Amino acid sequence: MKKKLTLLFSLVLLLYPLSLIGQTPPEEFLGHKVGADRKLADYNQICEYFKKLDEESEKIKVLTIGKSTLEKPLIMAVITSEENMPNLDDYREITKKLRDARNLTEEEAVQLSKEGKIIVILTCNIHSTEIASSQMAMELAYDLVTGKTIFDSDKVLKDVIVLLVPSSNPDGEQMVTEWYRKYSGTRYEGGRMPWLYHHYAGHDDNRDWYMLNLPETKAITDVLYRDWIPQVHIDEHQMGSTGARLFLPPFMDPPTLTVHPLIWRGIALFGTNMAYELQKDRLSGIVYGRSFTGWWIGACDDTSWLHNSIGILSEMASVNIASPIYVDPTEIPSSYTEKRIHFPDPWTGGWWRLRDIVDYELTLSQSLIKTAYLHKDELLLNFYRMCKEAIEIRKEEDPFAFIIPRDQHDYPTALKMLDILMAGGVEIHQASEDFIADGKTYPSGSFVVLMSQPYRPYAQALLEKQKYPELRQYPGGPPIPPYDNAGWTLPLQMGVKCDRIDDTFKTPLKKVFKIIFSPITVPEEKPYMIIDCKTNASYSVIFDLMKSGAEIYRSKESITKKEFEGAYGSFIIKNSPEIQKILPDLLNKWHVVAYGLDDITDIPKNPLKRYRVGFYQSWKANMDEGWTRYVFDSMEIPFTTLHNRDFKGTKKNKVNLKKKFDVIVFADENADIIKSGKPSPNSPYARRYTEMPPQYEGGIGDEGIQALKSFVEQGGILVTLNNACGLVFKEFNVPARDALEKVKRNEFFCPSSILKIKVDNKTPIGYGMPDKAAALFSRSLGLSTWIPSGNWDRKVVASYPKENILLSGWLLGEDKIARKAAVVDTTYKKGHIILIGFRCQNRAQSHGTYKFLLNSLLYPEK
C-alpha cells in the first residue's frame, strides 16, 4: 500500500509544478500545533521537517553547514524567491565585494547595493532549554514559503535572502527534549538536567564566539564572516519568567567602544520596528535598554557588531521548557509593573505558555525580515561604508597596528592565537625582514595586524586592553556590573606577547592566508631527549609518551646547552626504540621541538611517574567542569570522571581513592554543592535550587571528605580550582584562606577581568611559566597563607603584585588583592593540596595559565 502511494505521489510530482502541490504545515507533520502545551519536536524531527519543506518548495534549500560536537548535522535553511535560488553564489560574491573598499569605489558600491540582496540570518536555540525558537523556526519557514506573513512575501523574498538556523546547538536540543519527555507528568517535569546541554560548554556555548573552540561556533562563524556575510543577524533567546515578556534592543550602557555608531543606530531601528509590530498585535510586556549591555561578552549576536553587521538579541520570558506556568501578579517585580517610556505596556500576569513565546518570536522574526527589505539598498551600502571607514579613517586615539613578535614564550600558542583571529575574519601579515616600530626592533617573521582592515573593530577589540567605564548606581554607590566579562584581551589570556603600535611604520609585509606551523626536525638518535616545558603543547607530548611507558624526568633547574635552553621543569626522556618510532609524528602533531642529549648525569632532576587523574563531575551541570574536560580532551590528557558515588564505599569496604588515582581535580564550583549537592541556605544560589530525581541528589558527603583526606595523607595530589578551594578551607584546615570572602562589593569589585600575577617558576607548579603572567579573575579568590604547623607546609607559587594589578577590564579596591596569593601549593603529610585561586583555564581561553593545572597533573616525585 505504502509503495503504491509513493508511486502515485511521484507521478503527481512529475505532472504538477512544485508550487501547486502545496507544502506540509508543521502541525500536520508533527501531529500537534507548534508550541502546544507539553509538546516538543526534537532535533531529528526538526531536520526531517526542514528536509520535507525543501522537497516541497522551490523557495527553501536546506544546507548542512557542519557537525555538532556529538556529530549531529548542523542545518541551515536558505529561504528566498525561486528566481534568487540559482544565483545565490553571485549574491554572496556581492556582499564579499562590498566588504572590501580597497577594491571598490563608492559608485560601484551604490550599484552593487542595488543589484545585491540583503542577507538576514536568524540563529535559534543556542541555549537548549530556551527551546521555543527551535520550534518556531519550523513555522517561520513554512509561513515564509507559503506567504502567510505580515508582508507580501513574493515581493520581500525577491530582495531578501533569509538564513535560518533552527538550532545552534543540535545536541542540546535533542538532550533537553528527551529529558523533558522522560519526566513529563512527574514532579520533575520541566526541571533541570543533571548535565550540561552542550557536551563541553553548557550555557557558555554563547561565550565562545571569539575563541571558536566548539565546532558549532566554528561552522556558524564561517557562515557569518566568510561564506555569506549577512548584514543583519538575530539570535533568539529566553530569560527569566516573571519580569518583562520580551527584551529587544537598544541595549543598555556601556557600549563596546570599537563598534561603529551606525551599528547601534541600526540595532535600534530593527529593535524598535519589532516592538512596534508586536505592539500592533497587542502583545504586551516589551522592554528595551535594560539588563543586556552593549559591552561585548563573546556572544553570538554581539560578535556581529564588531563585523559591521547589525546584531540583535531577543530574550523572551520562559516557561518550564514546554509546560505552562502561572505568574501571579504579585510575583512580578515592581520594576516591571509601572509604565515607562522603555516599557510602556506592562504584562499583568496570568498563564504563560510555550505558544505565547512562539507567537512573539514569529512576529519579531518577520518584522526583522520586513525592516531588512524596507532598507535593503542603504543597509548594503552602509555595510560597505562602515568597512570602508575601518580601512581609511584612523582617529588619533586609534592604534596603527598590533605586532606579535617572532620570539614568544610559547610559540605554538601564539600561532594558535593568530589562527583563531583569522577564523574570525582578521587579516594578518608577516614581516619578511627585521624592522623598527615605535623605536623597537622586531625580527623578520614577526606578525603584524594592521588596523586598516574591514573588520578593524573586531581585531582591535580582541588585541587591545579593555578599560571598563566606572559605572555606579549613584555617585560613590555600588558598581553596576557588566552582563558578563569586563576584560577579555586575547594575547593576555593566551600568554602571547603583543605590542600596540600607535605610530605608523613601513616594512615589507606578506599577507598570511594560512597559519603554517613549521615542520619539526626530529633530533638524531641520542640516549636522552629533552623537551622544554614553556610550551603548553609539550605537556600533550609527555602525556602521550607516558602512555607508551616512557621513562621521564623533570629537571630541577634550568638547562643551558650548546643548542638550546630549557626552563626549570623541562622534560627529560630516556630514549628507546619504541619512543624513536612514535616521536616524529608526535612532535609534528603538537609542533613541539625536542633535543638529543648524550648524558644527563649533571642535570638535577626528579622522576615523573604516570599519573592517574580523577576529575569530579557534580550533577549540577557545572560549566567549568565542562571546559576543563574540553582542555583535557583537546590536549589528549587521559582522565577518569568521578561522580558522588565514587567517593562512597560501604561500612566494610571503605573507598580508597589512592588505589585508583594519583591526582584528583575539582573544577570551579561552590564547596557546599560539592559536599552536599545544595548551596548553603544563605547563598544567593539557594533560591534557584530545584529538586532533582533522587539519583542526582546529594554530594560527595562527609564520607567523600574523609576519603579525600586519606587520599592526600597517602601521597595523593588534590587540585582545587577557584571556588572549589572553599572545600579545603572548610574541611582540611589548610594553612590558607580567601582574604576576599567577607569584603563588601563597594570595597572590592572585579568582574571577569585580567590581573597581573608574579610567578615563582622554579617551583613545580610554576614550571614553564614566565615570571609575570595574566590571570583571569572571575568570582575568584585572594589567598592569604600563614606559617603552618604540624603536618602542613605551604609554598606560594603565584601572587598579585603591590600595585598596578589591573591589566584589562575593571578592578575596584586594588589594595584588597595586593600581595595576596593566587596559587598555593600546600603539603600535607605525603601529599599535596594545590589551590588555584583564579580561572586558570577559563572557558578554554586562558591558555597563558593552563600550566598551573598541567603541572598539578605532572608533579615530579621526590
Expressed in angstroms, the distance from the first to the final Cα of the chain is 77
Q: How far apart are CA 737 and CA 601, in angstroms?
A: 41
Buried/exposed code over 776-813 (b: 16+ C-beta within 10 A; e: otherwise): bbbebbbbbbeebeeebebbbbbbbeeeebbbbbbbbb
Q: Which of 371, 336, 337 is nearest to 150 (CA)?
A: 371
Nearest 5°: the CA angle 13, 16, 22 is 80
**Is 286 or 836 the residue whose CB approaches Zn ion more closely?**
286
C-alpha cell at 603: 642535570
Q: Which helix (H) or strand (E) holds 254?
A: strand 252-255
**Is 237 or 388 the residue whose CB approaches Zn ion more closely?**
237
Which span (128-136, 294-302, 325-333, 806-814) binds Zn ion, by CB under 5 A? 128-136
Which span (171-179, 233-241, 536-544, 701-709) binds Zn ion, by CB under 5 A? 233-241
**Is 242 or 548 the residue whose CB approaches Zn ion more closely?**
242
Q: How far apart are CA 160 and CA 372, in angstroms?
A: 7
Taking the complex as a whole, the smallest distance from the CB of residue 731 to Zn ion amounts, in Å, to: 35
| Residue span 71-110 as binding mask against Zn ion, x where in contact by CB under 5 A, dash where not | ----------------------------------------
**Is 240 or 527 the residue whose CB approaches Zn ion more closely?**
240
Residue 816 contacts Zn ion per CB under 5 A: no
Taking the complex as a whole, the smallest distance from the CB of residue 299 to Zn ion amounts, in Å, to: 9
Contacting Zn ion (CB under 5 A), which of 199, 237, 416, 534? 237
Which span (19-27, 122-130, 547-555, 841-849) binds Zn ion, by CB under 5 A? 122-130
Taking the complex as a whole, the smallest distance from the CB of residue 290 to Zn ion amounts, in Å, to: 16
DSSP code string of 564-623: -EE-TT-EEEE--HHHHHHHHHHHHHHT---EEES--TTS-EEEE--PPEEEE--SS--H
In the window 263-282, what residues touch Zn ion (CB under 5 A)? none
Q: In Å, how far are 49, 139, 148, 220 from 24, measured between CA atoms?
A: 9, 10, 13, 28
CB atoms within 10 A of CB 194: 17
Which span (127-135, 437-445, 526-534, 820-828) binds Zn ion, by CB under 5 A? 127-135
Taking the complex as a whole, the smallest distance from the CB of residue 336 to Zn ion amounts, in Å, to: 19
Q: How far apart are CA 764 and CA 571, in angstroms?
A: 12
**Is 299 or 769 the residue whose CB approaches Zn ion more closely?**
299
Paired strand residues for 704: none
| Residue span 660-699 as binding mask against Zn ion, x where in contact by CB under 5 A, dash where not | ----------------------------------------
Q: Is the dihedral of CA 636, 640, 642, 647 positive or negative?
A: negative
**Is 240 or 350 the residue whose CB approaches Zn ion more closely?**
240
Residue 198 contacts Zn ion per CB under 5 A: no
Taking the complex as a whole, the smallest distance from the CB of residue 237 to Zn ion amounts, in Å, to: 3
Contact residues for 287 (Cβ-Cβ < 8 A; gap 6+): 243, 244, 246, 247, 248, 336, 342, 343
Whether residue 240 contacts residue 666, with contact meaning beta carbons closer than 8 Å, is answered with no
Q: Which of 168, 165, 155 is nearest to 228 (CA)?
A: 165
**Is 130 or 532 the residue whose CB approaches Zn ion more closely?**
130
Which span (22-30, 237-245, 676-684, 739-747) binds Zn ion, by CB under 5 A? 237-245
Which span (67-75, 119-127, 133-141, 508-516) binds Zn ion, by CB under 5 A? 119-127
Which span (235-243, 468-476, 553-561, 651-659) binds Zn ion, by CB under 5 A? 235-243
Q: How far apart are CA 785 and CA 754, in angstroms?
A: 23
Tell me, rounded to whole angstroms, the distance of Cα 220 from its chain centroid. Answer: 13
**Is 128 or 720 the residue whose CB approaches Zn ion more closely?**
128
Taking the complex as a whole, the smallest distance from the CB of residue 74 to Zn ion amounts, in Å, to: 18
Q: Which residue has the cell 509604565?
A: 339
Paired strand residues for 343: 340
Taking the complex as a whole, the smallest distance from the CB of residue 130 to Zn ion amounts, in Å, to: 5
**Is 300 or 531 the residue whose CB approaches Zn ion more closely?**
300
Taking the complex as a whole, the smallest distance from the CB of residue 207 to Zn ion amounts, in Å, to: 11
C-alpha cell at 257: 567602544
**Is 26 or 172 the residue whose CB approaches Zn ion more closely?**
172
Whether residue 523 contacts residue 593, with contact meaning beta carbons closer than 8 Å, is answered with no
Contacting Zn ion (CB under 5 A), which of 72, 99, 117, 127? 127
Residue 832 contacts Zn ion per CB under 5 A: no
Residue 375 contacts Zn ion per CB under 5 A: no
**Is 349 or 481 the residue whose CB approaches Zn ion more closely?**
481
Whether residue 287 contacts residue 400, with contact meaning beta carbons closer than 8 Å, is answered with no
Taking the complex as a whole, the smallest distance from the CB of residue 171 to Zn ion amounts, in Å, to: 16
What type of residue is 637?
I
In the window 486-515, what residues touch Zn ion (CB under 5 A)? none
Residue 847 contacts Zn ion per CB under 5 A: no
Whether residue 220 contacts residue 165, with contact meaning beta carbons closer than 8 Å, is answered with yes
Instruction: State the burial class of residue 341 (Cβ atoms within 10 Å of its Cβ: 0-12, 13-18, 19+).
Output: exposed
**Is 172 or 698 the residue whose CB approaches Zn ion more closely?**
172
CB atoms within 10 A of CB 607: 12
Which span (124-132, 160-168, 703-711, 726-734) binds Zn ion, by CB under 5 A? 124-132
Q: Which residue has the cell 520535507?
A: 52
**Is 38 or 127 the residue whose CB approaches Zn ion more closely?**
127
With CB under 5 A, what is the number of residues at the site for Zn ion? 3
Which span (236-244, 386-394, 548-556, 827-835) binds Zn ion, by CB under 5 A? 236-244
What type of residue is 332?
I
**Is 237 or 429 the residue whose CB approaches Zn ion more closely?**
237
Paired strand residues for 440: 437
Residue 353 contacts Zn ion per CB under 5 A: no
List contacts with Zn ion (CB under 5 A).
127, 130, 237
